[in-house]
Chain A
């Protein structure tokens, strides 16, 4: 049985150290600008921090993957080029990209460096993935969270690169890299500015009855009764009043997290090369807990033992978890 890489998130240098110490094989991170899809306030790395982080990770046998996975826009393409050059100078092991211009630039200027195809590219067919492999030398594709295990198994036999799948965190059912909901609401693009529901546009108000109203820009996207769990303030996970329903409901998707711990033996058996934990915007506590749990579980599966299933529901969005489309297309 192959031993897949455990790929873990880091939004800060301390998170990266926590991930490396907890047993991550690879850690992904981004710079403090629009070149990555978690361009959130107070998050991410400066070039100097990245350089130190690479040294820390390498000393512990872990790789560092640099996410340059937003889409470069006309007039500021140099920002993405500089991010790639800087990442190469810092010694990152691979770049995670979505934009074909960025992929072409790295393939040409930093030919020895691995290229991974971001989930932001939303490539889910053998034809699409093989195009990236052929044209840019992509070595690994991060699959959208819309494929069943059987489809992943089949895909593995039809593509020319490694497969990485998400195993924990954001459920992410939107066609990633194509979602314009935040842009529509507040004029900031998830895909080109790297910020989905930026905190500067999110507001919570609590009334005297304890009901909390969540707004993105001027749009009310949810209301939580005092005893209801909450989710991220994103439009896709809001509740809306739409005909013919009388009550507000989750019109797009529910606040719920993906958790594939029980499915690890099947995923590894299907030949998945890397298993990814989502959550650069979270914390050291999240990374330590989730990475430690999955490290033990993966090691157990690879050693032929039954993995201990750790309860991670306290860390999930909305305090709910699912196997999503990996188990069935009828997950809802």
Chain B
């Protein structure tokens, strides 16, 4: 498990982001779309765990990023888009936490319930959809981040190296990449 700073310290350091125009996010969209399609193609079993929530809209709010993400894990047409924080977004479930905590949870290295207990993770809206998504992702062996980064070629491998440099506990997975 990763070391966690105190609750009070975590609340002190929440940033306030300026508005990011949609045009600046445009270069991210094809990359995000490629990521979500790859995961959907390689992990079809996760849709069974999502059950009726495969078409739900998950707003993923990494508090330390200047934009938000909207995920629709549709088995046929999965979508992942970056949106301005100022955008009016219609979603079923809102999941918020720090980027590091959300990534490590998706990667199976952080326990979602523990993040909730420590108030590092907040879910509003349809909780059942969020629980299904968490369970579906947690049932994937290994590191999703690693699979995704490696598939993105040289830039992805650089991104993975950067993740590894920030996560010393990753160890053998980094060596394997």
20 contacts between A and B (CB under 8 A): A42-B51, A42-B135, A199-B130, A200-B128, A204-B122, A205-B124, A206-B124, A212-B122, A224-B119, A227-B7, A229-B117, A229-B119, A255-B117, A282-B111, A283-B108, A285-B1, A285-B111, A286-B113, A316-B114, A319-B117
Instruction: Determine whether the beta carbon of A314 is less than 8 Å from that of B135.
Output: no
Is there an interface contact between B114 and A284, defined as CB atoms closer than 8 Å? no
Q: How far is the CA of A255 from the CA of B114 in the complex (A)?
A: 12
Q: Is there contact, CB below 8 Å, between B112 and A283?
A: yes
Residues of B within 8 A of A210 (CB): 11
B91-124 vs A, Cβ < 8 Å mask (1 yes, 0 no): 0000000000000010011111110111100111
Question: Chain A residue with minimal CB distance to B122?
Answer: A206
Task: Give B13 Cβ to nearest chain A Cβ, in Å.
Answer: 13
Whether the Cβ atoms of A199 and B131 lie closer than 8 Å is yes
Number of A-B contacts (CB under 8 A): 109
- Within 8 Å of chain A (Cβ to Cβ): is B158? no
- In the complex, A283 Cα to B110 Cα: how many Å? 8
Interface size on A, residues (CB 8 A): 43
* Chain B residues packing against A (C-beta within 8 Å): 1, 4, 7-8, 11, 48-51, 105, 108-114, 116-119, 122-124, 127-128, 130-136, 138-141
A250-292: which have CB < 8 Å to B? Answer: 255, 281-286, 289
Q: How does the 8 Å CB contact mask read for A173-217 relative to B, with 1 for contact and 0 for none?
A: 000000000000000000000000011101111100010100000
Instruction: Kindly identify which residue among B110, B130, B133, B141 contacts A17, using a CB–CB cutoff of 8 Å.
Output: B141
A17 to B108: give the CA distance in the assembly, Å. 13
Asked if B117 and A226 sit within 8 Å, CB to CB, the answer is no
CB-CB under 8 A from A316, the residues of chain B are 114, 117
How does the 8 Å CB contact mask read for A56-68 relative to B, with 1 for contact and 0 for none? 0000000000000
> Could you say which residues of chain B place their CB within 8 Å of the CB of A198?
128
- Verify if A231 is at the interface (C-beta below 8 Å from B): yes
CB distance from B105 to the nearest CB of A (A): 8
**Interfacial chain A residues near B4, Cβ < 8 Å:** 314
Apart from A42-B131, A315-B114, A316-B117: 8 A-B pairs, beta carbons within 8 A:
A200-B128, A204-B123, A204-B127, A227-B119, A282-B111, A284-B108, A316-B114, A319-B117
Let me know if A128 is at the binding interface, CB within 8 A.
no
**Is the pair B116, A230 in contact by a Cβ cutoff of 8 Å?**
yes
Q: Cα distance A41–B118 when bound, in Å?
A: 23
B11 touching A226 by the CB < 8 A rule?
Answer: yes
Cα–Cα, bound, A321→B134 (Å): 25
Q: Which of A12, A203, A229, A281 contacts B113 (CB 8 A)?
A: A281
Considering the chains assembled together, what is the distance between the CA atoms of A96 and B48 in angstroms? 26
Contacts of B7 on A, CB cut-off 8 Å? 227, 229
Q: Please name the residue on chain B nearest to A12 by beta carbon.
A: B139
Query: Which A residues lie within 8 Å of B119 (CB)?
Result: 212, 224, 226-230
| Residue in contact with A14 in the complex, picked from B48, B108, B111, CB distance below 8 Å | B108
Residue of B nearest to A311 (CB): B1
Of the residues B1, B133, B135, contact of A11 by C-beta under 8 Å: B135
